[in-house]
Amino acid sequence: MYQLRPIGIVHSLFKRREDVPTRGPIQYEAIGEIEIFKEYEDGLKDIDGFSHIVVLWIFHQSKGYELLVEPLAYKGLRGVFATGHPDRPNPIGLTVVKLICRDKNVLRVKGIDMADRSPVVDIKPYVYSYVRKDIRLGWIETAERR
């Protein structure tokens, strides 16, 4: 058993999970802040040299889980692990955001898709090894063509 402790908290315009855009310009343009708790501030050293960061966070407004879910922006049941649906066995979210600036223990970011007060459990720099050219988007490719 592993125990995760939040290292920070999200400050977002989106107060409820229903307010969070699931795709489109609103999601990619949304600006928010990630406040890292003071005890972890030293861990932010050198982060401002990166254009983008990966944020691992908790879907704190999750309502339990089902293994078959209807994706928030699409119709039809899908396996929860083939979606980014917030109701999952371990309600962990992953978001890549653009790092606008750092002010001490606060990161101002663009592209936020997290509800306000979401606990942050880790941050990593977005690096070249994450970029893939040979990806397939599964059922999303078909849904996007419609």
Tell me if residue 91 falls in helix, strand or coil.
Answer: coil
Say how far apart CA 92 and CA 84 lie, in whole Å: 9
Tell me the percentage of the chain whose pLDDT exceeds 90.
67
Q: Residue 10's pLDDT is what?
A: 98
- Give the residue, 70 or 121, on which the prediction is more confident: 121
Structure letter (DSSP) for residue 37: P
- Give the residue, 95 or 142, on which the prediction is more confident: 95
Mean pLDDT of 16-26: 74
* Digit-coded pLDDT (tens) for 80-95: 999 989 999 999 999 9
Q: Residue 27's pLDDT is what?
A: 63
From residue 41, alpha-carbon distances to 37, 45, 67, 73 in Å are: 7, 8, 37, 36
Given a contact cutoff of 8 angstroms between Cβ atoms, the answer to whether 118 and 96 are in contact is no
Mean pLDDT of 18-43: 85
